[in-house]
A and B are shown apart, each in its own frame.
Chain A
């Protein structure tokens, strides 16, 4: 696999449920990023990891959101007690080293009813 993969591609859930998204980065990339994109807007930064360490979190990432990257490989983004405002495309990207080119996955689209 030469690209970033995300799963699931689409998720429809009811308000109040928990959802989890997975991202598998390009294998040699040590940095992994999560972004959120709503319709007609550019992606907004949520958080990023260097290896297994979470180095920065946006204020957009409320306490209902948690991200992990165990062993510096794949990452998960969990949203607890989903709200309709969480409906968006969740994008994962990876890069190698500082100032490396970012490569994005196809995204996971969340719809909260």
Chain B
């Protein structure tokens, strides 16, 4: 059974800092890994999708890396802003007989102080 763990559970930083969110998963047979952002009481917004054959993806101030063999991904946020405050969720899309299904971590709650 796939398990996804995110560290840290919560993070509070001053504006302008660069930061790293970590995600680990137990079964390396994945099709892809996706990072999401969730604001309180809202749905999920897709940030980055990394296919299993890729090592990283970038979008603006965000960079996500994937090391499939070790079961790890990191989300790097450069020059953090108060508007980045949200919960960040990592999810892996299963391969094998359960292809398509996403398994989520519990998220990292990020607070960026002005």
Binding site for B on A (CB under 8 A): 4, 6, 31, 33, 35, 40-45, 48, 50, 55-56, 91, 93, 95, 98-99, 101-107, 109
Contact = CB atoms under 8 A, between A and B. Distances in A.
Contacts, number: 66
Interface of B: 4, 31-32, 34, 36, 41-46, 49, 51, 89, 91, 93, 98-107
Contact of A42 (B32, B101, B105): B105
B99 A99 contact: yes
Main secondary structure, interface of B, reads strand
Main secondary structure, interface of A, reads strand
Of the candidates A4, A104, A105, A109, the one having the most CB atoms from chain B within 10 angstroms of its own CB is A104
A45 B43 contact: no
Of the candidates A4, A44, A101, the one having the most CB atoms from chain B within 10 angstroms of its own CB is A101
Contacts of B100: 31, 33, 48, 50, 55-56, 95, 98-99
